[in-house]
Structure 1
Amino acid sequence: MRRINKHWSYCPLFLLWLWVVANLALSSCSRNSAGISSDIPADILNSSRYQVYINGSPMPVYKAALNINVAHIALQSNETAQIVVKCKDAGYWSEGATIRPLSKGIVPVISGDSLVFQLTAPAMLTVERNNQIWNHTLELDRKRNDPSWWQEGFRYSHTLQFVSNVTATTEVLFLFADTLQNAPQQADNLIRLLPGIHTRNINLHSGQHLHLDKGAFLLGSINIWDAENVRISGQGTIIHDGDQPPYVDRGFQTERNWRPISINNSHNVSISDITCIARSRTWAIQATACDSLQFDGIKIIAANLANLNGDGIDLCGTQNVVIKNCFFRTCDDAIALYRTLPFDSGPHHTWNGTDYSHNVRTLVKNVDISDCIFWNTSANVMRVGWTGMQLETDSITMRNCDVIHLSDCSYYHVPHSLLAIMSEDGSGIASHSNYLFEDIRLEEYSALVGIKHQNARLKNFLFKDIQAKEPGKWPSLIIAPKADERNSIAFENITIGKQPTKCPKDVPLYVEKDCNVVFR
């Protein structure tokens, strides 16, 4: 033994070889391992409220954020699956339950502590106990019906924000049912996270593919900066719970590790099927100065105690984007179209010493959104621009989407709505053209549209085949004196509570200053 030790002490090449082998092993583990961290409590993801069974077999249920619980269900091809949801509290379903979106036509059967229904195809569903939210309609009827109160807009009042917070803390179960996926083949550019808890931040570079297996939980952030041809896939989950200040808006910062997914100055990025959760006060996904992005089948949950600034996908100076088959539960705008930082023409912003003024882009173009589900507890399904922002947008479409809940009663200079374009004082050079909202189903919502921008040039906006289950909580609003005189804003085949709309009063919609609005 002594001779061997003596031999090793005089063999630097052998020591070098050991060092190389050890580092290769560590590198391999970081690329393809469960990476279960012993310092993470085992019950951090367990829901204490619900139990979910598929064909008699229990499925894991985890707590995503606040009172949001999630179960991922694996469906076999061509099977009819019986889903049973149980709650540990007696009488929990006594007032009934609703499964949304209503367009799925799923009506559960309640038997004691169990809620039973069937699934025949992949779906993204919410299971909601009825009558959780107090009825605020009578309290606000007087103000809602007084045009002098809502025409000019106002800032949040305590009452309105409290109502929004009540909605935000509603207890709910999300069921994400997908067919099983095959694991990708091993490749040099593949980073694969196996089932388990992974605590790390990941920087993806050009040509890399990150895959999160079903049951993999990444506690951290993913950054795609200055890259091209990047892919993220799998049925795993990203959870970001950062150190953003809880009572100050810093969600917009363009920083690495500042949200679940940050994409900056990148081209040809594809993200599919994963679940993306932001627990702290920040945007879930930010794409800045990017081109050619695709989001397919992702589930976004952004929920924080402030019930603000939890955006879904923010496109800042980004073009050629496809968003399809996605689920949004956000506590601010689900989708926002902005320029890159700085957001206004004042002194450029610096955060942590970063100067954003060198790569300013003010155009967002060719954004196609389809087959999505939206639940906003605050703000809008889509926001375009902000006070003082120079921004141009063109060719924006949203088709075949369900809005199951939209911003219960909140109002900020315009009613929170399906589409909001707002500049508080009319500042900012803005031009927005060729918008289409078609085949949209509104189940519970604040307003259809909220536009107030004295200097925005609007052209060719069409709202078509929109069905609202009931009237909105606020009158819609359009104040856009510089809208195109001939081809401005059109509403076609809009039904409110099964009643067709033939004029602004039927929505109701308040139009000011000669904006060309057409109903047909």
Structure 2
Amino acid sequence: MTDPHGIGLTRRTLLQAAGATAVAYPLIGTMAGAAHADDRSEVADRLVVYPVPDGVPTNASFSVKARTPNGQWQPVPVLRGTTKTINEKTGAGILRNTSVATFDFNGTVEVEVTSAKGAIGSARIRPLSYGIKPDVAGDTVCFSLSEPRNLSIEVDGEIFDNLQLHANPIEAQRPEQDDPTVIYFGPGLHTVPNNVLMVPSGKTVYLAGGAVLKARVEFRNVENARLLGRGILWNADGGITAAFSKNIEIDGIMVLNPRTGYACTIGQSRQVTVRNLHSYSSGQWGDGIDVFSSEDVLIEGVFMRNSDDCIAIYAHRWDYYGDTRNVTVRNSILWADVAHPVNMGTHGNPEKPEVIENIVFSNIDVLDHREPQVLYQGCFAMNTGDSNLIRNVRIQDVRVEDFRWGQLINMRVMANRYNSSPGRGIEDVYVRNLKYDGTRANMSLIVGYDADRPVTNVTFQNLAINGTVIADTMQKPRWYLTQDMVPMFVNEHVKNLRFLDAAAPAATVAPQITSPGEAAATARQVFNHLIAATALPTSFNAEGLPKGLTVDKNTGLISGIPQVPGTYTVTVAATNNVGTATKSLTVTVGHPA
């Protein structure tokens, strides 16, 4: 769909140009209405609920309603998602329905969830780290929220026939319907030719709340493009693809029950931000977000419940070639009904070996992991094959709840049935503030391939297993290895493995900043720059940033949308227990094409 003459397309023309068919539905709820520029400001205690178009399956296991304090109760539609687990005796997939509901709010909202099964014996709301304790009265669970949350409400221990609730913030980016740069889908069920929507450069695809698009959305060889809204991509072959592209923003979309394929593929692309994406899959190769041969990627605030890896970070595969670096995943929830919540390193290019480096996972809740195959287990798996080298990985502030079947850590230089050669190694991994509470974890693995392809320089700091901090200084029989207390198997090709308590000094020298001293951005487009440094830094800073950019002091990520073109001199810093390193970073913000 293009506008070759640059004359601008109205909403109606855009839908016709896409070949879309739609039935319009009104929004429902307190202060609900069309998205206009004059209602974008945040106000206290506001609730917006969206309809579900005819033809999109709903689920009757729960009824949900919400209200602002002292407001009228509003019914919240409940969608039908599908999950899959693997029968460990036959290898067959077991499909089950699950419930999904969503609304937007500011301020405070009260929620009531009623079970169709009748009286409730017990209920819990996860992630448990949120500390939400619901009230239970008969067949109803009640609770309130004062900030956006992605939740699993589980009645009487049921994790399949449960309710996932996405309580989103009120949208901050809502384009006008007649903006010539916007491909606008209003509430209703939409289709496009061949079930694939190709997005041109400079365009924004907007799926309004209540819009369901039965298609895959592709950004291919484009730049400065976006997919925004509160709508749903449903029942297509895959969800979203960003390939050979740059300056791509994806925000607020749900990918529900794709027939096959990944919810989001990022291949050989740069400057990609994926925010507040919700994904449910039960098809073959039902990964969540897979990153191949890409740089400067931010994934944040996502909820992934998938029938394969939730987050996968690789180098070469298919038509994608090159290193992968500077990938940050933060403030997210992962639920792997099959395979790994996180997997890194498997695919690469043995003919021209590649590097996967500067990878950060921060503030992550892992709700589940179920994988019968021992060599495909691991809530956090670094399985480097195909001559890949993984280096400079930070995993920090992670809570892992008691999962069904698998390992906490699986870190191996290996070659499996997908590889034509083993990996080259894994080096410089810092795992800090990882907490696991549970009883079903199998023994973790850290395994080098041989003396020339080892695992080196791995530090665990404040690793807590059921409340016990695993440290080389902990009380244990003197002939026990520290890794026995996890438990974890470590082979002879692992060098410089350390377990430290929270107070121990992790570094012996001050950091050195290794990220480049120059970065190019585009005005009014997403930008990500990760401050990378040696010697286990624990905090970062940046001064002199262009308007629209901020620094995450926990991860070192500079991100946002720069507003004003120009050249800016920024001082970046990385700090560890020994000292602070600084470096000058020149950020050039160009005009959009």
TM-score above 0.5: yes
- The 8 Å contact of residues 261 and 285 in structure 2, kept in 1 or not, is answered as yes
Cα deviation, residue 422, structure 1: 5.1
Q: Could you state the TM-score of these two structures normalised by the residue count of structure 2? A: 0.66
Aligned to 2:163: 173
| 1:32-80 deviation line (CA, Å, top 9, x unaligned) | 9994269x993532222211010222111111334121111222x32x2
List 4+ stretches of structure 1 deviating above 6 A: 23-26, 31-34, 483-486
> Residues 90 and 364 from structure 1, CA distance in 2 versus in 1: closer, same or farther, beyond 3 angstroms?
same
- The 8 Å contact of residues 316 and 337 in structure 1, kept in 2 or not, is answered as yes
Aligned to 1:370: 330
Are 1:466 and 2:430 an aligned pair?
no
| Mapping of residues 175-194 of structure 1, within 5 Å | 175-181=165-171, 183-185=174-176, 186-194=178-186
Q: Judging by fraction of residues, say which structure has more helix.
A: 1
What is the distance in 2 between the residues matched to 1:107 and 1:25? Answer: 44
**Residue type of the alignment partner of 2:130:** K
Highest RCO, 1 vs 2 (Cα 8 Å, sep ≥ 6): 1
Cα deviation, residue 456, structure 1: 2.8
Report which stretch shifted further, 60-69 or 188-197: 60-69
What is the distance in 2 between the residues matched to 1:510 and 1:396? Answer: 24
Indicate which of 131, 139, 142 corresponds to 1:105.
131
> Residues 114 and 24 from structure 1, CA distance in 2 versus in 1: closer, same or farther, beyond 3 angstroms?
closer
Aligned to 2:117: 89
What is the distance in 2 between the residues matched to 1:387 and 1:34? Answer: 37
> Residues 69 and 329 from structure 1, CA distance in 2 versus in 1: closer, same or farther, beyond 3 angstroms?
same
Partner-residue secondary structure (3-state), 2:255: strand
> Residues 43 and 49 from structure 1, CA distance in 2 versus in 1: closer, same or farther, beyond 3 angstroms?
farther
| 1:424-456 deviation line (CA, Å, top 9, x unaligned) | xxxx21211000000000112332211232543
> Residues 328 and 387 from structure 1, CA distance in 2 versus in 1: closer, same or farther, beyond 3 angstroms?
closer
Cα deviation, residue 176, structure 1: 0.7
Indicate which of 219, 226, 232 corresponds to 1:231.
226
Are 1:68 and 2:98 an aligned pair?
yes
What is the distance in 1 between the residues matched to 2:150 and 2:348? Answer: 37
What is the distance in 1 between the residues matched to 2:218 and 2:165? Answer: 28
- The 8 Å contact of residues 355 and 389 in structure 2, kept in 1 or not, is answered as yes
Cα deviation, residue 486, structure 1: 9.8
List alignment gaps of at least 5 residues for structure 1. 1-22, 133-166, 243-258, 343-355
What is the distance in 2 between the residues matched to 1:506 and 1:265? Answer: 45
Partner-residue secondary structure (3-state), 1:395: strand
- The 8 Å contact of residues 10 and 179 in structure 2, kept in 1 or not, is answered as no
> Residues 199 and 486 from structure 1, CA distance in 2 versus in 1: closer, same or farther, beyond 3 angstroms?
closer
Partner-residue secondary structure (3-state), 1:67: strand
| 1:219-276 deviation line (CA, Å, top 9, x unaligned) | 111011110011111111111344xxxxxxxxxxxxxxxx111111101100011112
Quote the RMSD (CA, aligned, Å).
2.6
List alignment gaps of at least 5 residues for structure 2. 1-8, 25-51, 68-72, 83-95, 415-422, 472-481, 501-593
> Residues 465 and 472 from structure 1, CA distance in 2 versus in 1: closer, same or farther, beyond 3 angstroms?
farther
What is the distance in 1 between the residues matched to 2:401 and 2:197? Answer: 38
- The 8 Å contact of residues 32 and 193 in structure 1, kept in 2 or not, is answered as no
What is the distance in 1 between the residues matched to 2:341 and 2:452? Answer: 22
Q: Could you state the TM-score of these two structures normalised by the residue count of structure 1? A: 0.75
Report which stretch shifted further, 455-464 or 173-182: 173-182
Partner-residue secondary structure (3-state), 2:13: helix
> Residues 309 and 34 from structure 1, CA distance in 2 versus in 1: closer, same or farther, beyond 3 angstroms?
closer
| Mapping of residues 215-364 of structure 1, within 5 Å | 215-242=210-237, 259-304=238-283, 309-342=285-318, 356=319, 360-364=320-324
Higher CA-based Rg: 1
- The 8 Å contact of residues 110 and 144 in structure 2, kept in 1 or not, is answered as yes
What is the distance in 2 between the residues matched to 1:69 and 1:33? Answer: 31
What is the distance in 1 between the residues matched to 2:137 and 2:315? Answer: 52
**Residue type of the alignment partner of 2:280:** I
**Residue type of the alignment partner of 2:436:** A
Count how many residue pairs are aligned between Structure 1 and Structure 2: 417
